[in-house]
Structure 1
């Protein structure tokens, strides 16, 4: 993993934790309606995505894969005007969460991701090997990392929108 990817992962995670750290239990678990996620659910979704991504990267590293996959443009993930439906496997629980509980889960999922990435001796392998993403098809493994922090940035903006909504009530 490049220093830029690592810095982006760390910086984005710090921003996320800063957004949620001082929320009350009620605000953290507030849902505008049954069809929207609470901030807690958004964060739980991010935990599930990171765990699934770590698993996919580990799978991709162990895969015998002779075809180098082309990089895909991923910046569109940041466009919040386009609604993206999450795959069912990364749907959050509907039960309420404590803020510290989610922070602990976020830390745990990051430790698992970094454990997988620490097995990589030559980071060039992350550009040469790939794994199938449920939405975007075959992605080079380094793009799975890029997608993680872009996806998290997308949801930080969603959390900010939810906070505005909550504070307006």
Structure 2
């Protein structure tokens, strides 16, 4: 993975943390309505997506021969918030309340696991040569799985800003 990719992951995560840091636990767990997620749930969803991505990349790296896949414009697909994406059950957040520190710990732990995995890949070019099916985006090269993490966070940072506007 390129240094630029690492920088973008860090920059986006810092932006997320800055958006939520000054919230009270009540604000953090407030839901606009019964069908909407709280900011805490959005953050928990981001943790679950990152953990699922780690599993997908790990699985893809262990797969046999490279499976060259056509690259898609994940940025266009993920950042277009006019199209609602339904989260697969595996990445749906808990309905319980969260403490801010608990979410910070989960976010930090999942990012450490991701960075440990990526640092263990000696030949980073393999990330563009192997792919795994993404539940929303279809067959996706492993390096685009990494890209979708920070794009997905950017998408949800905008959602968090909207929820904060309703507080």
When normalised by structure 2's length, the TM-score is 0.97
1:12-161 mapped onto 2 (5 Å cutoff)? 12-75=12-75, 76-161=77-162
SS class of match (2:56): helix
How far is 1:24 from its partner? 0.1
User: What's the Cα RMSD here?
Assistant: 0.8
The CA deviation string for residues 90-139 of structure 1, in whole angstroms up to 9 with x for no partner, is 00000000111101100000011111111111110100111111111211
How far 1:65 sits from its partner (Å)? 2.9
Deviation (angstroms), 1:81: 1.5
Please tell me whether residue 165 in structure 1 is matched to residue 166 in structure 2: yes
Q: How many residues align?
A: 166
- Greater Cα shift, 20-29 or 69-78: 69-78
* Partner Cα separation in structure 1 for residue 55 and residue 150 of structure 2: 16
Give structure 1 stretches of 5+ with no counterpart. none
Measure, in 2, the Cα distance between the counterparts of 1:106 and 1:134.
Answer: 22
- Distance in 2 (CA, whole Å) between partners of 1:89 and 1:67 is 25
Q: Which moved more, 1:123-132 or 1:45-54?
A: 123-132
